[in-house]
Amino acid sequence: MNLNPIVLSIPIFFLLIGIELLVERIMHRKLYRLADSIANLSCGITSQLSGLFLRILAIGIYELLYNNFALFHPSKTWMYWLALFLLADMAYYWAHRMSHEINLFWGGHVVHHQSEDYNLSVALRQSSFQVIWTFAFNLPLAFLGFETLDFALMSAFITLYQFWIHTELINKMGWFEYIFNTPSHHRVHHGRDPKYIDKNHAGTLIIWDRMFGTFQEEEERPTYGITKPINSWNAVWANFSHYAVMARELKMIPSVWDKIRYLFNKPGWLPEQLGGYRPAPAIDKAHYAKYDTPAPQLVNYYVLFQYVICLVGTSFFLFNQSKFSMGEKAIMAVLISIVVVNCGVLFEHKRWVIVSEWLRILLYPATLITVTWSTPGSEMWMLISILYLVVSVVWFWPVSRKLHAQK
């Protein structure tokens, strides 16, 4: 069984999302859009898949430093846990803040800000590469003698705390706002309005923003998203889009020194000869429209059907990932990633995804039959595979014709 608290919390996440959806209906609010929500969940899935490999590196380095270079070995009193919480939360603040203020690091965090909606599914929209740029901020805790498992659990708690603050259904919270991060504070953080950019980086305690000069009160509801919208539901492209922009802009910069400055200056920076720093533009709210790709109901239901199956399969894999070899994990990560990419891009009506989805529908059941051929219960897996193949082919045939017609 996987003891990752984030994975163990998956049922609670979906329960709370279900409650928010119910409240949305009761209050006649428009908080969720199917394509956006699926893109958010897909980024969460790809983040967990990449985490199977990258978090091992991050935790491994922490463990190496703790075992060999810890300066202290404090007793686990209440002071130990309080100090660990405060230091881990402050480390999160600085890692998060630098993820906004360093262009290279922003590429590993921008995914979380791409959604133009704000609901609990956005909390699950996480980058696949952020840990590469942020894990080093936690390493001083290893030198101070905080055990690896204790740090990992505290870090997970800080992450889990932030799930509930991704909602528009909770307004100001009185005295609680002065100490803790809240939905109001975090809505500011997700705003692309110039006065909200790079504010409220807190994890659990908003006191860090108040202390270090990055606090901003919520005055009017923000416009959510990033200053240059990604305009795609593709979860893999969401993780690479900023780096693709960086690659193009680096080619424009002639000086090696300026290329280095471009990597480590704020997002939007260019040398003076190319126009200099580009601040966040003001938003014309009268003419602002979210990225949207209306799809026929037939397409919506088909994607939802495939996605539910993907969620069940992914959850089973994550809960049992310790039973798989590293090679098997890599193969499963690729197979799942193809599903979430197809499900997102089907909303975009791109012609190539029709071919990709037909290949996937045919190959996945065949792969499942091949893998389970000599295992106990192979007859059951064969029956499931054939049933899935028949349902998918019969359903996707009219979907593909609809998409062709729209092109």
pLDDT of 1 reads 44
Q: Token pair for residue 209?
A: 């923003």
pLDDT of 389 reads 97
DSSP calls for 237-255: HHHHHHHHHHHHHHHH---
Burial class (CB in 10 A: 0-12, 13-18, 19+), 289: exposed
Average pLDDT for the chain: 95
Coil/strand/helix, residue 191: strand
The interaxial angle of helices 326-345 and 34-69, nearest 10 deg, is: 150
Q: Among 163-172, 189-198, 332-341, 396-405, name the one with the lowest average pLDDT.
A: 396-405
Kindly tell me if the per-residue pLDDT of 251 is higher than 70. Answer: yes
Quick: pLDDT tens for 388-404.
999 999 999 999 998 87
**How far lies 261's CA from each of 229, 267, 276, in Å?**
24, 11, 12
- Closest-CA residue to 355 (of 300, 407, 312, 313): 407
Looking at the chain, the whole-number percentage of residues with pLDDT higher than 70 is 99
Q: Across residues 378-393, what is the average pLDDT?
A: 95
Kindly tell me if the per-residue pLDDT of 141 is higher than 80. Answer: yes
- Closest-CA residue to 48 (of 120, 126, 113): 126
Q: Across residues 86-93, what is the average pLDDT?
A: 98
Distance CA 238, CA 35 (A): 14
Burial class (CB in 10 A: 0-12, 13-18, 19+), 392: buried
Task: Output Rg (C-alpha) for the chain, integer angstroms.
Answer: 23
Kindly list the domain boundaries of the chain, sorted by start residue.
Answer: 5-212, 239-274, 297-406
Q: Among 116-130, 227-241, 364-378, name the one with the lowest average pLDDT.
A: 364-378
Residues 14, 279 contacting (CB under 8 angstroms): no
Kindly tell me if the per-residue pLDDT of 407 is higher than 80. Answer: no
pLDDT of 4 reads 77
Distance CA 208, CA 200 (A): 9
DSSP state of 110: G
Q: What predicted TM-score, i.e. pTM, was given to this entire model?
A: 0.95
Burial class (CB in 10 A: 0-12, 13-18, 19+), 288: exposed
- Closest-CA residue to 346 (of 404, 259, 278, 281): 404
Kindly tell me if the per-residue pLDDT of 162 is higher than 60. Answer: yes
- Closest-CA residue to 133 (of 242, 229, 249, 295): 242
Kindly tell me if the per-residue pLDDT of 2 is higher than 60. Answer: no
Q: Token pair for residue 233?
A: 């539901």
Looking at the chain, the whole-number percentage of residues with pLDDT higher than 90 is 90
Quick: pLDDT tens for 53-72.
998 889 999 999 999 999 99
Distance CA 402, CA 407 (A): 9
